[in-house]
C-alpha cells in the first residue's frame, strides 16, 4: 500500500500500474522495461508550491560482522546503486504567475525506464538490494514542513524463462539437462527436467540404470543442492564466501517402465518397493538388486523455500550461485565374482534458482483479459496457508509469496487502469473509454463461426 504523509487537509500518495517489474533474461540482454504510475495529491485548500518531483532509488545494504574500515568498527554498509529523478512540475524562481496548486485532486503521470542490467531485489539475511519510489512536493511556506513526501516500495524480480533473444529466435531454449555415464558394470542416464526453477517448488529427476553384469546393486543415491554465497565490498577491499548444502527431500517417486510390456511377459517386472528407494536416499547400504531390465524411476524432490535458500544472482557484490550434486553408489562384483567393490557415478552441474515469487507456471504467457484479472490467491493457496501441502503446480507456499499475491492484486494493473479511465473520462468529459480487447478464445470462436456461414 502507498505510504501517505498527512499535513492538515493534504494527502500525497503514489499509485503504480504494476508494483512488480519482471526483468527477463540475463543482465546482458538489451531489454528495457517500463515502470509507470501517477502521483496523487489531495488538497482541502490551495497550496503554494515550487516543484513536484519523483525519483526511483535502488540501495544495497550489507552486514559485515567481522568489521570494516581501518579499525574494524563498521559492521554494516549502505549505498545507493541506482537513482532516477523526474521533475513532474516546477516553476522558475523569476516566475511572475501564481505558483499555486488548486484544491481538490491533482495527478501527475510518470514513467521510469528500467534497464535489464539493474540488480534484482535481493533479500538475504546478510545483504539486501531494495528499490523504492519517493515523491516530494516543495511548498512555499514559512510555517510547518516545507516538503510533502510519499514513498512506495518497488519489487524487481528476474526470470530466465522468457527473454527477447528466445522470442526473436522463434524457439525456446531447453532448460533440461541429460547426462550419460558408461561404465563396465552399467550404463546410467540422469535427466534433470528443469535447470531453471523457483525455490520451494518440486524438482523432478529421472534415473535410468542398465546393468551389464549380474549381481549389480544400487547402494545409495545422494541429491544435494549447494549454494555458494560471495559478499564483496570493493571500496573496503573486503570479501567473504560461504557454502551451504541442502539435501533434497523426496516428495514422490514413480516407475517409468512400460507396465503393458511387463503384463505381456515381454519384459520382466522389476518394481522396487518405496521403502527401499527411500533407504537408498537416506542410507549407504540399500542393496537394491539391478536385474536384466533397466532400473528407471522418476523422483520428485522438494526444493528448500526462501526461508533457507536464496535465488541465483548476477550482482558481483552479492553473488549467489547454485550447484546440483548427484552421487550414485553401486556395488559390483570383481572379475572372479568372489567379492564386490564400490563404484560411483557423479554429476555436478550448475542450476538457476529463481525467486520464490516466480512460480513454475509463470512462463505461460497470459491473455490480455487474464493479465487484468489476476486472482488474489490461487484457490489451493488459500486452502493450505501453512504451506505444508503441494498443489498441482508443485509450489511450496511461503509467507512472502502470500504477501506478494495480496500486494500485486490489491494495487494491481486492473485497479490502476480503472482509476486512470475514470480520471481521463472526467477530464475529457467523454462518455466511456473503449473496453479492452476480448480474449483470444472469443476471437477464435467468432472467426470459426464466420467461416462456417
User: In this structure, what CATH number is given to the domain that contains residue 319?
Assistant: 2.60.40.1930
Strand positions, DSSP E, 46-126: 47-68, 74-90, 100-101, 104-115, 122-123
**Cβ neighbours of 198 (radius 10 Å):** 28
Query: Which string of DSSP letters, residue by residue, matches 266-310?
Result: SS------HHHHHHHHH-S---EEE-SS-EEEEEEEE---TTT-P
Is the same domain home to 190 and 337?
Answer: yes
pLDDT on residue 436: 53
Is the same domain home to 86 and 211?
Answer: no
Q: Per-residue pLDDT tens for 281-332?
A: 998 889 999 876 788 999 999 999 888 899 999 999 999 999 999 999 999 9
- Nearest alpha carbon to residue 324 among 204, 180, 230, 188: 204
Is the same domain home to 144 and 181?
Answer: no
> 11-15, 44-48, 402-406: which has the minimum mean pLDDT?
402-406
Distance of alpha carbon 304 from alpha carbon 200, whole angstroms: 5
Please tell me which residue, 440 or 60, carries the higher pLDDT value.
Answer: 60
Half-sphere exposure of 430 (CA within 13 A, CB side): 10
The pTM for the full model equals 0.74
Mean pLDDT of the chain, nearest integer:
78
Is the same domain home to 446 and 341?
Answer: no
Q: Per-residue pLDDT tens for 135-180?
A: 999 988 656 668 899 999 999 999 886 555 555 554 555 678 999 9
Please tell me which residue, 306 or 378, carries the higher pLDDT value.
Answer: 306
Model confidence at 403: pLDDT above 70: no
Is the same domain home to 339 and 406?
Answer: no
Is the same domain home to 127 and 218?
Answer: no
Is the same domain home to 262 and 242?
Answer: yes
pLDDT on residue 361: 45
Is the same domain home to 136 and 14?
Answer: yes
**Domain containing 201: what range?**
174-354
Query: Is residue 168 domain-resident?
Result: no
Query: Which string of DSSP letters, residue by residue, matches 194-245?
Result: -SEEETTBEEEEEEEEEESSSSEEEEEEEEEEEEEEEEEEGGGTEEEEEEEE
Q: CA 304, 166, 355: angle at the middle one, nearest 5?
A: 20
Query: Is residue 169 domain-resident?
Result: no
Distance of alpha carbon 146 from alpha carbon 69, whole angstroms: 37
What is the H or E stretch that residue 442 is in? helix 440-452
- Nearest alpha carbon to residue 306 among 124, 126, 127: 124
Amino acid at each position: 500500500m502507498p505510504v501517505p504523509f498527512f499535513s492538515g487537509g493534504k494527502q500525497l500518495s503514489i499509485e503504480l500500474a504494476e508494483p512488480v517489474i519482471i526483468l527477463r533474461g540475463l543482465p546482458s540482454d538489451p531489454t528495457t522495461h517500463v515502470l509507470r504510475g501517477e502521483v496523487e495529491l489531495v488538497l482541502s485548500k490551495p497550496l503554494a508550491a515550487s516543484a513536484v518531483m519523483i525519483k526511483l532509488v535502488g540501495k544495497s545494504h550489507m552486514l559485515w560482522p567481522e568489521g570494516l574500515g581501518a579499525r574494524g568498527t563498521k559492521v554494516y554498509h549502505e549505498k545507493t546503486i541506482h537513482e532516477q529523478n523526474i521533475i513532474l512540475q516546477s516553476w522558475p524562481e523569476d516566475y511572475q504567475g501564481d505558483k499555486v496548486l488548486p484544491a481538490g485532486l491533482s495527478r501527475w503521470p510518470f514513467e521510469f525506464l528500467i534497464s535489464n542490467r539493474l540488480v534484482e531485489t535481493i533479500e538475504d539475511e546478510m545483504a539486501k538490494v531494495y528499490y523504492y519510489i519517493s515523491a516530494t512536493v516543495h511548498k512555499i511556506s514559512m510555517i510547518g514542513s516545507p516538503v510533502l513526501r510519499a514513498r512506495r516500495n518497488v519489487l524487481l524480480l528476474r526470470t530466465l524463462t522468457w527473454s527477447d533473444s528466445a522470442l526473436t529466435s522463434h524457439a525456446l531454449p531447453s532448460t533440461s539437462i541429460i547426462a550419460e555415464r558408461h561404465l563396465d558394470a552399467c550404463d546410467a542416464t540422469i535427466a534433470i527436467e528443469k535447470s531453471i526453477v523457483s525455490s520451494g517448488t518440486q524438482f523432478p529427476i529421472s534415473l535410468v540404470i542398465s546393468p551389464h553384469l549380474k549381481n549389480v546393486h544400487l547402494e545409495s543415491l545422494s541429491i544435494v543442492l549447494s549454494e555458494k554465497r560471495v559478499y564483496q565490498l570493493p571500496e573496503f577491499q573486503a570479501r567473504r564466501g560461504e557454502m551451504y548444502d541442502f539435501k533434497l527431500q523426496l516428495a514422490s517417486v514413480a516407475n517409468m517402465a512400460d507396465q503393458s510390456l511387463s503384463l505381456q511377459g515381454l519384459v520382466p517386472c522389476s518394481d522396487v518397493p518405496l521403502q527401499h528407494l527411500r533407504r537408498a536416499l537416506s542410507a549407504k547400504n540399500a542393496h537394491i538388486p539391478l536385474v536384466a531390465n533397466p532400473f528407471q524411476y522418476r523422483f520428485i524432490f522438494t526444493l528448500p523455500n526462501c526461508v533457507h535458500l536464496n535465488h541465483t544472482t548476477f550482482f558481483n557484490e552479492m553473488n549467489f550461485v547454485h550447484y546440483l550434486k548427484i552421487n550414485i553408489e553401486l556395488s559390483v562384483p570383481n572379475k572372479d565374482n568372489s567379492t564386490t567393490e564400490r563404484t560411483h557415478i557423479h554429476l555436478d552441474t550448475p542450476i538457476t534458482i529463481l525467486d520464490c515469487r516466480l512460480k513454475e507456471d509463470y512462463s505461460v504467457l497470459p491473455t490480455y483479459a487474464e493479465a487484468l484479472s489476476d486472482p488474489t490467491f490461487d484457490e489451493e493457496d488459500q486452502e493450505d496457508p501453512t504451506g505444508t501441502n503441494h498443489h498441482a503446480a508443485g509450489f511450496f507456499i511461503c509467507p512472502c509469496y502470500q504477501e506478494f499475491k495480496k500486494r500485486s492484486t490489491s494495487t494491481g494493473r486492473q485497479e490502476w487502469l480503472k482509476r486512470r479511465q475514470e480520471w481521463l473520462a472526467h477530464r475529457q468529459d467523454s462518455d466511456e473509454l473503449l473496453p479492452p480487447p476480448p480474449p483470444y478464445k472469443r476471437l477464435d470462436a467468432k472467426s470459426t463461426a464466420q467461416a462456417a456461414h
